[in-house]
Chains A and B, each alone.
Chain A
Amino acid sequence: MQNFIEISDVSKTYWSEDGKTETKVVLPLSMTIAEGEMVMFLGPSGCGKTTLMRIIGGLETQDHGEIHLQGERLAGPDRRRGMVFQSYSSFPWLSVRDNIKFGTRYRKDISAQEKEEVTDHYMNMVGLTRYADFYTNRISGGMRQRVAIARTLASSPKVLLMDEPFGALDAQTREYLQLQLMDINAREKKTTVFVTHDVEEAILLASRIVIFSSRPARIVKEIRVDDLIPPESRRDGSLDMETFMALRADILKIIRAEYAHTLEDT
């Protein structure tokens, strides 16, 4: 697979307000992501994985290094990298349908009629057609995240960035949305970077898991989940639970060791 996203020597340091104390968040870090990959960023809280994802999205600026998308150097946010946030980012003054349609608002590559079709397509894909006319502050948190996902997909990004999008949801809704995302991913084949704390979520959704160290973030291990558990078996539930549990135990062991480092540092 060719490199779709190329991250080269990217690093980030935060400074305290008085400029005296520095906190290294991301050490010079390089990695590549292939087109259509679902890469899960996993690591201890505050390790810098969200910062790295925000840098990929152009919402934070790295101190050093470069990020290329299809060979083009990235600077600042744009429609090529759509983002789904942990907090609800759907607009409360718009209906479910208008929120999803908002994703097409700045697209110049399709006609007004096609924008309507794209809106209906994604609204149907996330199962919200029944709620088309509802304001988003009158639907559940899970539905709001589906609106945010549909809106982002409607903008036709090349890369989907998801920052713990299911983190605030209850376990059942989270599981439902994970299955729905697997389904969407199988159809859309969208290159996705997904930040999570949830090991099982990572194994279920990822084609590759990237485990980060405690802050400052460096890559501790990469696991090609697709080579261990076929994606189809995860989608239809026929996966080998023994492999799943063994992988889960391995990942947890690494993360716990990193958490221990975090605690030692504080």
Chain B
Amino acid sequence: MSFSILAFRKKLPRKVEIGLGITGFLLFLLTWQLIAVSGAIRPEFLPTPVSVAEAFVRLFTERDFASDIVISVRRVWLAFLLSVAVAVPLGLLMSTYRAVGALLEPFVDFVRYLPVPALVPLLVIWFGVGEASKLAVLWMGTFFQLILLIADDTKRVPVEFIESGHTLGASNGQIMRDIIIPAALPNMVDNLRITLGWCWTYLIIAEIVAANSGIGHMIWSLRRFVKTPEVMAGIIAIGIIGLLTDQAFRYAHARWFKYLHR
């Protein structure tokens, strides 16, 4: 099959896309390796990829890193699901009933501009140093963004779909269930994927606050001993988990919404 690698706004064969993705990673690793061995930066600050890979293995064999991963994944998913459970119904209501939108939008807009790290001391005062404050940080970081994204997704459902529903005899509730939600669902799932990514970015903030477990805590505690390879391995672990989750969402999107994927 012939194709141009720089085809303008055209798809590439799947294998080529995967190959390019891997090449991107390899180029990054190569650049990193070259800079690290050049001696321009001291190894305490920039270890080589190989020493980070060794540290990665050490984390599992010497520090029970698997438990930290399980704890962090659980925190992220729990906070994310709590966010989804409240944001999805509220977002639907905001876009459906103007009164709910008018009531909530200004407040949601205000809160979503507040920097989450600045709220951490307050959340610790309110929820203590236990699990609740960590979940609250993650929840605050995602909920107020997600609610507006869901509201936008449902607002974008074409009015003809809704009017068709009315003239086919559907009640408002049936239009919500049978038309608005199915029409908005692909975009909603995309936004859930993006929001889950944000949850991971807030994890470190959540886990450096009086935590004694989790990937963030591990990274933060090793930082004190300038264990840069381990710190970088921890960060890379988050990247890998994020990438795998993202790919799982994309796969599910392609399976659930076949009509959008030619």
A interface list, Cβ under 8 A from B? 57-59, 76-79, 81-83, 85, 87-89, 91-93, 102-103, 105-107, 135, 137-138, 148, 151-152, 155, 157, 161
Partner of A92 from the list B164, B178, B259 (CB cut-off 8 Å) is B259
Contact B167–A78 (Cβ < 8 Å): yes
Are B170's CB and A106's CB within 8 A? yes
Q: What 1/0 mask marks residues of chain B from 157 to 181 whose CB sits below 8 Å from any chain A CB?
A: 0101101101111100010001100
B168–A82 touching, CB < 8 Å: yes
Q: Which of A57, A105, A135 contacts B167 (CB 8 A)?
A: A57
Question: Which residues of B from 207 to 221 have beta carbons under 8 Å from A?
Answer: none
Binding site secondary structure of chain B? helix
With contact pairs A83-B163, A87-B160 given, residues A155 and B168 touching in the complex (Cβ less than 8 Å): yes
Please tell me if B251 contacts chain A, counting CB pairs below 8 Å. no
Interface flag for B73 (CB, 8 Å): no
Bound: A57/B163 CA distance, A? 10
Q: Which of B161, B168, B185 is the most central at the interface, judged by chain A CB atoms within 10 Å of its CB?
A: B168
**Residues of B close to A76: CB separation below 8 A:** 166
Q: Is B182 an interface residue (CB 8 A)?
A: yes
The residues of B that contact A82 with a CB separation of less than 8 Å are 167-168
28 contacts between A and B (CB under 8 A): A58-B166, A59-B163, A59-B166, A77-B163, A78-B166, A79-B167, A82-B168, A85-B163, A85-B164, A87-B160, A89-B163, A91-B182, A91-B183, A92-B259, A92-B260, A93-B257, A102-B178, A103-B168, A105-B170, A106-B168, A107-B169, A135-B258, A137-B259, A138-B262, A152-B167, A152-B168, A155-B167, A157-B167
* Whole-angstrom CA separation of A82 from B169 in the bound complex: 9
Q: Which residues of B contact A (CB under 8 A)?
A: 158, 160-161, 163-164, 166-170, 174, 178-179, 182-183, 185, 257-260, 262
CA distance A261 to B192 in the complex (A): 53
Task: Name which residue of chain A comes closest to B256, CB basis.
Answer: A93
- Smallest distance from the beta carbon of A55 to chain B beta carbons, Å? 13
Q: Which residues of A contact B259 (CB under 8 A)?
A: 92-93, 135, 137-138
Once the chains are docked, how many angstroms separate the CA of A155 from the CA of B167? 9
- Chain B min CB distance to A103 (Å): 6
Specify the main secondary structure of chain A where it touches its partner: loop
Q: How far is the CA of A57 from the CA of B169 in the complex (A)?
A: 12
CA distance A105 to B165 in the complex (A): 10
CA distance A59 to B258 in the complex (A): 32
CA distance A205 to B172 in the complex (A): 34
Residue of B nearest to A159 (CB): B167
CA–CA, A36 to B243, complex, Å? 61
Return the chain A residue nearest B174 by Cβ.
A106
Known: A107-B169, A137-B259. A93 touches B182 (CB 8 A): yes
Given contacts A78-B166, A83-B167, A85-B160, 13 further A-B contacts (CB under 8 A): A58-B167, A77-B166, A79-B168, A82-B167, A83-B163, A91-B179, A93-B182, A105-B169, A106-B170, A137-B259, A137-B260, A151-B164, A155-B168
B-side contacts of A79, CB under 8 Å: 167-169
Q: Which of A57, A93, A103, A152 has the most CB of B within 10 A?
A: A93
The reply to whether B183 and A105 form a contact with Cβ atoms under 8 Å apart is no
Separation in Å of the A15 CB from the closest CB of chain B?
17
A58 to B164, CA, bound (A): 12
Instruction: Give min CB distance, A82 to chain B, whole Å.
Output: 5
CB closest chain-B residue, reference A104: B168
- State A105–B177 Cα separation when bound (angstroms): 13
Q: Kindly state the separation between the CA atoms of A68 and B258 in the bound complex, as whole angstroms.
A: 44
Tell whether, in the assembled complex, residue A155 and residue B182 are in contact, meaning their CB atoms are under 8 Å apart. Answer: no
Residues from chain B with a CB closer than 8 A to the CB of A59 are 163, 166-167
